[in-house]
């Protein structure tokens, strides 16, 4: 059962984001795809499809392919977000325009099912000869995801038919014809499982498993020797970059391009789930632990280096030069959701929430109009975005990028949040994320569960029930976040009966419309410490309140946060009356340190006591160019 289709948000924290995406982000992206935004770098993505269609219809086209080799995927991600958007808020005109684009995509498809405008327009003879760089399987994957989403959300199957034909073509090429290979950028693996789940056609599971199992050879070296053409400069020798160091079941460290890594792990978890493959599940657990125990930022961000947009080494987590790509945290959320489907442990949902409420939300300006790709934990005006080592780590969100991967990824995630918030297994209804809305049961369980909360501002979550008949017989399993020191659950004012396993409270019962389950979390603001092995954080402390990481920003702190030192004895105070995007501001005692103006001095700096103001990390950079810091020295 796809929980996405059963959930509708109510007014609350996420509703605002959903609206932003539907009203601002998706329309803006459509204009970008159509090259209708003045001053923005050309996308050409729709035009590429038009030219591919012309090419197939007339044998020539009046222009050249333009954009990244994976430009098609921008259209795919937009169509996926549009699917979710149309489910939430029907829009005739948008629906018609999406249908037109889908027709155009159909016209750009070869008779044998092949679909990719780069190859159709620019390199017609080079299909499937540069899997390392050319992103054909990646683009196919995103379009498959869009196809499944569009069919599920609108009931229209034109795009699904197109992509089944493409998937059949890939199945023929890679399994029947026994052509060796696997994608340089994983994505098709998880997409094929979505297609398998939706259509039930086991070919797609088989093909996904094929790509997973094929990985880990020096195929890219052989491919580069056999077909020595390049998109950028491939040679197959950077085996960490695309996670081909070893067969996937033998991989132990999360390495290489962080988005590729987590997309791959998603496919692995999917196949493990679909086939019951324990060795694959174990590999997923090992790689999950590699990430969350040694290679993840406090904000749920991943990727410590700009070069390769990649994981680096254990405990190397620099704050100011982090890559910490928005898309990588989205991929980590995808991975967490799949680990959760394999095994219910609050750890998976806790990380999903951490990445969502911190890195993913930070990726978008509060007005939905600008985006961070890179989400550093420290911003230094004059250095961030300017020093050669910090060119990627901008201190303010820029407008649309030439490589438009993150904004459409944010859009599709935020419009499909129900898929992450809830899941159902037989008569177990799992509530993973606390997002106000109504979750409709399947026909067996019947009725609807309503979740109401002001979370992550408030600490109470209400569950109410609207059974089809008199009562809903089920087990409501509520995540107990590990950050909550004490979580109480009441049923109609009295302590509820429940069992706890792996961080979930299981409330078994018959629930009527008179029932009110209230979960009360301990969301008091707290200090967080990092492992002593993280050199960037030694002697430092950070702050969290519930799932939200906080930071100090120059605006609130005499325009300088780099000179702040936290007083270890000072309590952290909440100021609900001073809101940032509705969340309470925090304050803690400390000092601004003053030096004597010299670069190095034997004079110890003087200290000026002050109240240090902290705001939710995800709201940083919304008030102009200022310094920002998550980890601060404490004395």
Q: Which residues bind a second copy (CB under 8 A)?
A: 292-294, 296, 298, 304-305, 307-308, 310, 312-316, 318, 320-321, 378, 380, 382-383, 386-390, 483, 485, 526-535, 538-540, 544, 560, 562-563, 565, 568, 593-595, 597-605, 632-635
CB of 256 to a second copy, least distance (A): 10
What are 601's two structure tokens?
């001095």
Half-sphere exposure of 500 (CA within 13 A, CB side): 10
What are 621's two structure tokens?
């950079």
Set 139, 164, 284, 405: catalytic member: 405
CB of 524 to a second copy, least distance (A): 10
Q: List all residues 6 or more positions away from 224 whose beta carbon is below 8 Å from its beta carbon.
A: 132, 234, 235, 236
What's the DSSP call for residue 591? E
Task: Give the whole-angstrom CA distance, residue 73 versus residue 552.
Answer: 37
Is 18 among the catalytic positions? no
Is the peptide bond preceding residue 42 cis, with omega within 30 degrees of 0? no
Phi, psi of 551 (to 5 degrees): -145, 160
Question: What CA dihedral angle connects 235, 238, 243 and 244, to 10 degrees?
Answer: 60
Nearest to 268 by CA among 339, 197, 320, 316: 339
Nearest to 159 by CA among 92, 78, 82, 99: 99
Task: Give the whole-angstrom CA distance, residue 442 versus residue 565.
Answer: 53
CB of 122 to a second copy, least distance (A): 25
Q: What does each C-alpha distance from 319 to 25, 304, 330, 538, 575 come to in angstroms?
A: 28, 9, 19, 12, 27
**Residue closer to a second copy, measured from CB, 38 or 602:** 602
**Residue closer to a second copy, measured from CB, 411 or 564:** 564
Under 8 Å between Cβ of 130 and 231: yes
Q: What does each C-alpha distance from 249 to 133, 181, 264 come to in angstroms?
A: 23, 17, 12
**Residue closer to a second copy, measured from CB, 6 or 540:** 540
Q: What does each C-alpha distance from 581 to 214, 311, 398, 524, 629 come to in angstroms?
A: 47, 31, 20, 18, 19
CB of 398 to a second copy, least distance (A): 19
Task: Supply angle C-alpha 554, 559, 565, rounded to 5.
Answer: 70
C-beta atoms surrounding 124 within 10 Å: 10
CB of 306 to a second copy, least distance (A): 8
Q: Which residue has the tokens 């026909």?
A: 443
CB of 600 to a second copy, least distance (A): 6
Is 405 among the catalytic positions? yes
Under 8 Å between Cβ of 316 and 530: no
CB of 296 to a second copy, least distance (A): 7
**Residue closer to a second copy, measured from CB, 148 or 302:** 302
CB of 533 to a second copy, least distance (A): 7
**Residue closer to a second copy, measured from CB, 18 or 347:** 347
Looking only at the bridges linking them, the beta strands covering 448-453 and 437-440 are: antiparallel
Under 8 Å between Cβ of 530 and 539: no
Phi, psi of 11 (to 5 degrees): -55, 140
Task: Give the whole-angstrom CA distance, residue 471 versus residue 466.
Answer: 8
First to last CA, the chain: 52
CB of 483 to a second copy, least distance (A): 7
Q: List all residues 6 or more positions away from 454 whose beta carbon is below 8 Å from its beta carbon.
A: 12, 13, 460
Set 187, 309, 325, 553: catalytic member: 309
Task: Give the whole-angstrom CA distance, residue 56 versus residue 85.
Answer: 32
Under 8 Å between Cβ of 517 and 476: yes
CB of 376 to a second copy, least distance (A): 11
Q: Which residue has the tokens 């109504």?
A: 438
**Residue closer to a second copy, measured from CB, 235 or 535:** 535
**Residue closer to a second copy, measured from CB, 212 or 379:** 379
Please list the active-site residues: 309, 405
């Amino acid at each position: 059962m796809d929980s996405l289709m059963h959930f509708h948000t109510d007014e609350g924290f996420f509703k605002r984001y959903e609206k932003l995406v539907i009203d601002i982000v998706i329309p803006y992206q459509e204009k970008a795809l159509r090259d209708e935004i003045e001053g923005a770098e050309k996308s050409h993505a729709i035009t590429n499809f038009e030219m591919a269609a012309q090419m197939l219809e007339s044998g020539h086209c009046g222009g050249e392919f333009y954009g990244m080799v994976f430009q098609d995927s921008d259209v795919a991600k937009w169509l996926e977000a549009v699917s979710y958007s149309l489910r939430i808020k029907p829009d005739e005109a948008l629906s018609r325009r999406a249908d037109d684009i889908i027709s155009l995509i159909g016209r750009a498809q070869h008779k044998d099912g092949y679909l990719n405008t780069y190859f159709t327009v620019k390199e017609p003879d080079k299909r499937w000869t540069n899997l390392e760089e050319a992103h054909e399987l990646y683009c196919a994957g995103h379009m498959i995801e869009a196809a499944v989403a569009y069919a599920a959300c609108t009931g229209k199957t034109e795009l699904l038919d197109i992509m089944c034909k493409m998937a059949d073509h890939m199945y023929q090429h890679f399994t029947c014809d026994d052509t060796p290979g696997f994608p340089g950028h994983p994505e098709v693996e998880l997409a094929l499982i979505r297609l398998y789940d939706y259509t039930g056609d086991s070919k797609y599971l088989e093909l996904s498993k094929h790509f997973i199992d094929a990985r880990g050879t020096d195929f890219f070296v052989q491919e580069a020797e056999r077909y020595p053409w390049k998109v950028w400069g491939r040679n197959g020798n950077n085996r960490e970059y695309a996670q081909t160091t070893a067969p996937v079941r033998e991989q132990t460290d999360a390495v290489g391009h962080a988005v590729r890594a987590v997309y791959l792990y998603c496919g692995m978890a999917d196949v493990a789930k679909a086939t019951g493959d324990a060795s694959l599940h174990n590999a997923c657990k090992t790689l999950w632990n590699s990430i969350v125990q040694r290679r993840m930022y406090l904000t749920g961000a991943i990727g410590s280096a700009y070069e390769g947009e990649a994981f680096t080494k254990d405990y190397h987590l620099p704050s100011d030069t982090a890559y910490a790509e928005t898309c990588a945290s989205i991929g980590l959320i995808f991975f967490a959701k799949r680990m959760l489907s394999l095994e219910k442990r609050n750890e998976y949902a806790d990380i999903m929430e951490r990445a969502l409420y911190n890195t993913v939300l930070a990726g978008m300006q509060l007005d939905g109009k600008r985006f961070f790709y890179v989400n550093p934990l420290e911003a230094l005006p004059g250095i961030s975005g300017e020093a050669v080592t910090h060119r990627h780590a901008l201190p303010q969100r820029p407008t649309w990028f030439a490589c438009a991967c993150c904004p459409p990824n944010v859009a599709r995630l935020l419009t499909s949040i129900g898929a992450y918030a809830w899941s159902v297994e037989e008569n177990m209804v799992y509530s993973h994320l606390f997002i106000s809305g109504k979750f409709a049961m399947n026909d067996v369980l019947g009725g609807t569960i309503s979740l109401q909360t002001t979370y992550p501002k408030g600490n109470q979550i209400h569950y109410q029930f609207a059974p089809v008949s008199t009562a809903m017989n089920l087990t409501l399993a509520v995540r107990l976040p590990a950050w909550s020191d004490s979580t109480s659950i009441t049923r109609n004012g009295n302590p509820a009966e429940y069992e706890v396993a792996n961080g979930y409270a299981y409330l078994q019962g018959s629930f009527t419309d008179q029932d009110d389950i209230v979960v009360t979390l301990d969301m008091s603001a707290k200090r967080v410490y990092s492992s002593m092995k993280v050199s960037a954080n030694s002697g430092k402390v950070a702050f969290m309140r519930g799932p939200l990481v906080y930071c100090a920003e120059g605006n609130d702190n005499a325009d300088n946060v780099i000179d702040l030192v936290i007083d270890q004895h000072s309590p952290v105070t909440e100021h609900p009356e001073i809101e940032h995007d509705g969340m309470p501001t925090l304050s803690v005692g400390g000092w601004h340190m003053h030096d004597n103006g010299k670069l190095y001095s034997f004079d110890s700096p003087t200290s000026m006591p002050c109240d240090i103001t902290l705001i939710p990390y995800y709201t940083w950079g919304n008030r102009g160019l200022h310094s920002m810091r998550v980890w601060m020295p404490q004395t």
